[in-house]
Amino acid sequence: DSGVTQTPKHLITATGQRVTLRCSPRSGDLSVYWYQQSLDQGLQFLIQYYNGEERAKGNILERFSAQQFPDLHSELNLSSLELGDSALYFCASSRNTDTQYFGPGTRLTVL
Amino acid sequence: GENVEQHPSTLSVQEGDSAVIKCTYSDSASNYFPWYKQELGKRPQLIIDIRSNVGEKKDQRIAVTLNKTAKHFSLHITETQPEDSAVYFCAASISTNAGKSTFGDGTTLTVKP
């Protein structure tokens, strides 16, 4: 157990819908990262927050947005969902810089 | 931005043999290089890491080497076991408060009993 929690574990929804994925970082970690992993694919970096502020952006679609709250938990919002958005979404956290600890992931299925 | 290339994409070895996975990076400012192991359907987990002021690091059957001049680093697994079968990811980052890591595409390692 890495200490990073993600909810829900599984999410099944329909095209066009909107969902929110939640991540709680390890105690004391200020950085939160979001990744998308499609079937048999690598980890695609989406976005990073550090102490409430957006710090880095990757290949995140305009339909996706995220935020980090004062208690440091983070939410990833996915809207106008398409079939291709089906994937495992991982959140990771780190104390200052480098070592990232991953949560168990949320498996999103868009039907 | 940083670009990390990882090779090979798949690797099959016999139990007891060694396995080597190589990564190259493009940004000479990168100074932190972790390796993650991801078993099927599970989260990536850190197995070993190395910083740019060190050339080699070992942890039991796992070792990582770093060549800063050539901008490449490698993961070495000796005496492989079936439970080593997984996807391995390398990453590179600049160790600052904006510690975004760039990941390689992963290597699927299969250890045959």
Check CB contact of B60 with chain A, cutoff 8 Å: no
- Model pLDDT, residue B91: 93
Nearest-angstrom CA–CA distance, A70 and B72:
39
Task: Concatenate the DSSP letters of all residues of B44-63 into one string.
Answer: -EEEEEEETT-SEEEETTEE
Lowest mean pLDDT segment, chosen from A3-12, B4-13, B43-52, B88-97? B88-97
Q: Which residue has the higher pLDDT, B88 or B40?
A: B88
Cβ pair A98:B101 closer than 8 A: yes
- Model pLDDT, residue B39: 93
Lowest mean pLDDT segment, chosen from A71-80, A84-93, B94-103? B94-103
Question: Which chain A residue shows the shortest CA-CA distance from B31?
Answer: A98
Question: From the list A43, A55, A104, which residue is nearest B103 (CB)?
Answer: A43
Cβ pair B43:A96 closer than 8 A: no
Cβ pair A100:B100 closer than 8 A: no
Mean pLDDT (chain B) is 92
Cβ pair A97:B46 closer than 8 A: no
Q: Give A37's pLDDT tier (boundaries 50, 70, 90).
A: very high
What does the angle CA A31 – CA B54 – CA A96 come to, to the nearest 5 degrees? 10
Nearest-angstrom CA–CA distance, B77 and A77:
39
Contact A75, A20 (CB under 8 A): yes
Q: Give B101's pLDDT tier (boundaries 50, 70, 90).
A: confident
Reading the block at residue B99, the tokens are: 């510690």
- Model pLDDT, residue A42: 84
In eight-state DSSP terms, residue B29 is T
Mean pLDDT (chain A) is 93
Whether the per-residue pLDDT at B1 is higher than 90: the answer is no
Whether the per-residue pLDDT at B97 is higher than 60: the answer is no
Q: pLDDT tens-digit profile of B60-81?
A: 999 999 999 999 999 999 999 9
- Model pLDDT, residue A59: 83
Reading the block at residue B94, the tokens are: 């600049």
Q: In the predicted model, what is the mean pLDDT of residues B17-33? A: 94
